[in-house]
């Protein structure tokens, strides 16, 4: 800085002004951080001691069952439930969101009703209900309403515990996804729709090619959260005796009475999966951020290909 000759400089030379240049700086101390930190370390230490020294934890059993065939099969079933429920839930969610924003009042009403119901009824209640559908409708029939029946199935063969679980989870997810996707659609500027209409796109094309791809990018972070919740919610299916991760662990400890070690096995796997998903989610979000950033736009775009994109250009 060349402020020599300025009034301040002249004042400093005259002794009326004390320059801070070159003075030693003393940072602010935080004694309470140390006190709080020490307390936390003590609590954590006690907890670790409990984990390691309590014989009932039985770490050798935990290790023995961590890669047990039954557990791994349950793990696979949990992943299967998560992915299927999520995919169905999202597909329905998109449909419901578009219906909710439709000009047709009937579509809006049906979508509202669906959301009200499936957001209001706990997934566990739904699962049990779907599982017992046969008591309400013994046969599922396909045909012309009030006309001839073309095909008919025994409800109990169609609705297995697995289907009931998928229905309960995906229908609940559809309601939540619909609300998020609706917000995403509304966040895409109206100008996008107008520009697309002006080049002659139909309403359907505008939605599929212009609005939804942008809306889905906006809702990737919350959908990621939902995916993680979904993974945990799948443990509800154990009430329907579907051999997921939790139920597999329960089956084993009902035989060998090693309840805590097997619950630990399940816990460890759930934590591993949620950690992986969290890391993946952070990566996706980071890339989304950089593509919206001017300078980073070009570099990161290729890697974005795996993101939801309806119809490639």
- Find the shortest distance in angstroms from Cβ 110 to another protein: 21
- Find the shortest distance in angstroms from Cβ 189 to another protein: 7
| b/e per residue 119-155 (b: at least 16 CB within 10 A) | eeeebeebbeebbebeeeeeebeeeeeeeeeeeeeeb
CB burial of residue 23 (10 Å; 0-12, 13-18, 19+) = exposed
Distance of alpha carbon 19 from alpha carbon 280, whole angstroms? 52
Distance of alpha carbon 79 from alpha carbon 134, whole angstroms? 27
Q: Give the chain's length.
A: 313
Q: Which residues pair with 158 in a beta bridge?
A: none
> Of 20 and 103, which CB lies nearer to another protein in the complex structure?
103
Distance of alpha carbon 220 from alpha carbon 233, whole angstroms? 20
- Find the shortest distance in angstroms from Cβ 205 to another protein: 6
- Find the shortest distance in angstroms from Cβ 291 to another protein: 8
> Of 109 and 297, which CB lies nearer to another protein in the complex structure?
297
> Of 217 and 287, which CB lies nearer to another protein in the complex structure?
217
Distance of alpha carbon 222 from alpha carbon 83, whole angstroms? 16
Q: Which residues bind another protein (CB under 8 A)?
A: 189, 191-192, 194-203, 205, 209-210, 213-214, 217, 291-292, 294-295, 297-298, 301, 309, 311, 313
Distance of alpha carbon 300 from alpha carbon 310, whole angstroms? 19
> Of 211 and 236, which CB lies nearer to another protein in the complex structure?
211
> Of 186 and 291, which CB lies nearer to another protein in the complex structure?
291
> Of 154 and 194, which CB lies nearer to another protein in the complex structure?
194
Q: Which two tokens stand for residue 177?
A: 């996804």
> Of 152 and 189, which CB lies nearer to another protein in the complex structure?
189
124 DSSP assignment:
H
> Of 139 and 299, which CB lies nearer to another protein in the complex structure?
299
What phi and psi values does residue 84 have, to the nearest 5 degrees? -60, -50
- Find the shortest distance in angstroms from Cβ 300 to another protein: 10
CB contact at 8 A, 85 and 166: yes
- Find the shortest distance in angstroms from Cβ 103 to another protein: 10
CB contact at 8 A, 221 and 136: no
- Find the shortest distance in angstroms from Cβ 217 to another protein: 7
CB contact at 8 A, 201 and 155: no
Q: Which two tokens stand for residue 128?
A: 């049990």
Sign of CA dihedral 151, 156, 158, 164: positive
**Max Cα–Cα distance, the chain, nearest Å:** 107
- Find the shortest distance in angstroms from Cβ 221 to another protein: 16
């Amino acid at each position: 800085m060349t402020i020599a000759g300025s009034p301040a400089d002249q004042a400093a030379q005259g002794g009326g002004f004390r320059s801070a240049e070159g003075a030693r700086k003393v940072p602010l101390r935080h004694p309470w951080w140390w006190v709080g930190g020490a307390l936390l370390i003590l609590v954590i230490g006690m907890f670790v001691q409990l984990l390691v020294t309590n014989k009932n934890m039985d770490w050798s059993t935990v290790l023995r069952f961590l890669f047990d065939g039954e557990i791994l099969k349950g793990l696979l079933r949990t992943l299967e439930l998560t992915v299927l429920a999520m995919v169905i839930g999202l597909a329905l969610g998109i449909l419901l969101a578009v219906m909710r924003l439709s000009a047709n009042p009937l579509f809006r009403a049906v979508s509202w009703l669906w959301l009200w119901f499936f957001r209001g009824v706990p997934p566990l209640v739904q699962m049990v209900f779907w599982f017992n559908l046969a008591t309400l409708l013994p046969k599922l029939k396909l045909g012309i309403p009030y006309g001839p029946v073309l095909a008919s199935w025994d409800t109990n063969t169609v609705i297995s515990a697995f289907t009931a679980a998928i229905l309960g989870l995906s229908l609940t997810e559809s309601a939540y996804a619909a609300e998020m996707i609706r917000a995403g659609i509304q966040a895409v500027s109206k100008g996008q729709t107008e520009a697309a209409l002006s080049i002659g796109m139909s309403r359907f094309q505008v939605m599929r090619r212009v609005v939804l791809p942008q809306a889905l990018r906006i809702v990737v972070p919350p959908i990621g959260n939902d995916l993680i919740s979904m993974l945990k919610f799948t443990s509800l299916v154990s009430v329907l005796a579907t051999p997921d991760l939790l139920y597999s662990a329960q089956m084993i400890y009902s035989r060998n009475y090693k309840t805590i070690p097997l619950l630990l096995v399940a816990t460890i796997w759930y934590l591993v999966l949620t950690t992986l998903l969290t890391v993946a989610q952070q990566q996706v979000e980071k890339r989304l951020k950089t593509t919206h950033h001017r300078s980073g736009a070009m570099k990161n775009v290729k890697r974005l290909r795996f993101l939801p994109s309806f119809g490639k250009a």
